[in-house]
Amino acid sequence: MFLAGDIGGTKTVLGIFSADVGARRPLIEKTYRSADYDSLEDIALSFLAEVNQPIEGAVFGVAGPVIQGRAEITNLPWVMEEGHLAETLGIRRAKLINDLDAIANSVPNLAAEDFHTLIPGTAVPGGAIAVIAPGTGLGEAFLTWDGARYRAHPSEGGHANFAPIDELQIGMLSYLMQKMDHVSFERVCSGIGIPNIYDYLRASGAAEEPAWLKEQLDLAPDPTPIIVNAGMDAERPCPLCELTLDVFISLLASEAGNLALKVLSTGGVFIGGGIPPRIIKRLDRNEKFIHAFRDKGRFADVLSEMPVKLIMHPRAALVGAAVRGMMELVTTPA
């Protein structure tokens, strides 16, 4: 028995897993609001006290880089260290992995019904796989075939420089450069990035901000859900929010194509994170998305062969953390 967790800037999901049942189904699962706790240890201890289930080890997928067993949450003031976690939780071993490492580990272990095809293509058996996931931040990872199975590799590519591809995006980059020292892709292609797109479009006069929306945004601790919901509301259309989502989709496609080139993902591109499934109606059969993904000059033909799929499983990161738990924590009898 072991503990697996998906630790994000917004929420933390914990689950108890057993080797007898497998990584796709936790025996017990609970979700916490990350900002309500001072540390991962606090949440894990609370969870373990509630479930009263002995465990031997733990694997946590965390939203930030993991270096020599130590990690900081990118959008939370938490610091985690594997040895301290194991000691505090009273377990044999604790393992920290990047959250996109976790999502990537889930991809070969999910079922066909856990994916939705956005761009059809032909995956090369054993080809590298790219994974990009806009949630609170923007995560990126990839998988390579070692001759027996796929192995996941973490990345912090979401923090690479934002590269605009048209006049509107050039204007947005110039606008954001006046407000922040470093404009990464995460600053425009994530939950924290959507308000930046919105603010630029409003300030540039691309569309007018409705009074009812301004009132909601002024009162909201997090403007992103309001902007997304308004952009998807067919009964009360909001052109400013719709345009915000259109720009977000173009940015996502462009960076997915960039990642596909960097790792030569002939095995396919998989999009995770919490935002894409919420806007699937705007993503599905979206010609602008397809064009932005493939618009890579001489390599457009290479990308045209790659399938792009949306990860629909709501607990992909938790499943991926559990997969790593199965690999590293569960002892196989001789």
Asked whether residue 143 is assigned to any structural domain, the reply reads yes
Answer whether residue 162 shows pLDDT above 60.
yes
Mean pLDDT lowest for which of 22-36, 155-169, 292-306?
Answer: 22-36
Region 6-16 average pLDDT: 90
Residues 199 and 212 in one domain: yes
Residue 177 has, within 13 A of its CA and on its CB side, a CA count of 10
C-alpha closest to that of 17 among 31, 29, 32: 29
Residue 333, pLDDT > 70, answer: no
Q: Assign 25 a pLDDT band (cuts: 50, 70, 90).
A: confident
What's the pTM value of the predicted model, to 2 decimals? 0.91
What percentage of the chain reaches a pLDDT higher than 90?
87
Residues 152 and 233 in one domain: yes
26 & 92 share domain: yes
Q: HEC profile for 177-246?
A: HCCCCCCEHHHCCCCCCHHHHHHHHHHCCCCCCCHHHHHHHHHCCCCHHHHHHHHHCCCCCCHHHHHHHH
pLDDT at 307 (0 to 100)? 98
> Do 152 and 139 sit in the same domain of this protein?
yes
Q: How confident is the model at residue 23 (pLDDT cuts 50, 70, 90)?
A: confident
Q: What is the pLDDT of residue 61?
A: 95
Residues 124 and 42 in one domain: no
Residue 156 lies in a domain: yes
Mark whether 187 and 224 lie in a shared domain. Answer: yes
User: What pLDDT score does 332 carry?
Assistant: 44
Judge whether residue 136 has pLDDT over 90: no
Please report whether residue 181 resides in a domain.
yes
CATH number at residue 319: 3.30.420.40
CATH of the domain at 243: 3.40.367.20
Separation of alpha carbons 283 and 286, rounded Å: 5
Condensed to tens digits (0 to 9), the pLDDT of residues 86-121 reads 999 999 999 999 989 999 999 999 999 999 999 999
pLDDT above 80: residue 214:
yes
pLDDT in tens, 220-268: 999 999 999 999 999 999 999 999 999 999 999 999 999 999 999 999 9
Residue 140 and residue 87 share a domain: no
Residue 133 has pLDDT above 60, yes or no: yes
pLDDT for position 134: 95
The answer as to whether 100 is a domain residue is yes
Domain assignment present for residue 334? The answer is no
**Residues 173 and 86 both lie in one domain:** no
Give one DSSP letter per residue of 250-283, joined into a string.
HHHHHHHHHHHHHHT-TT-EEE-SSHHHHTHHHH
> Considering the domain boundaries, does residue 20 fall inside one?
yes
47 and 152 in a single domain? The answer is no
Q: Are residues 241 and 324 in the same domain?
A: no
Cα atoms found within 13 Å of the Cα of residue 321, Cβ hemisphere only: 32
Q: What are phi and psi of 272, to 5 degrees?
A: -115, -155
Q: What are the residues whose beta carbons fall under 8 Å from the beta carbon of 208, sequence distance 6 or more?
A: 239, 240
Domain count, the chain: 2
| Per-residue tokens: 137 | 């931040």
Tell me the average pLDDT of the chain. 94
Name the pLDDT band for 320 (thresholds 50, 70, 90): very high
* pLDDT for the residue 179: 96
| Domain that includes residue 147, residue range | 111-312
pLDDT in tens, 258-280: 999 999 999 999 999 999 999 99
DSSP assignment string, 311-329: E--TTHHHHHHHHHHHHHT
Kindly state whether residues 203 and 324 are assigned to the same domain: no
Rounded Cα–Cα distance for residues 70 and 172 (Å):
35
Token pair 């009074």 in the structure block, residue: 211
Residue 62 falls inside a structural domain:
yes
In a domain, residue 333? The reply is no
What is the pLDDT at residue 245? 98
Instruction: Give the pLDDT score at 215.
Output: 97
pLDDT at site 73: 79
Looking at the structure, tell me whether residues 65 and 31 fall in a common domain.
yes
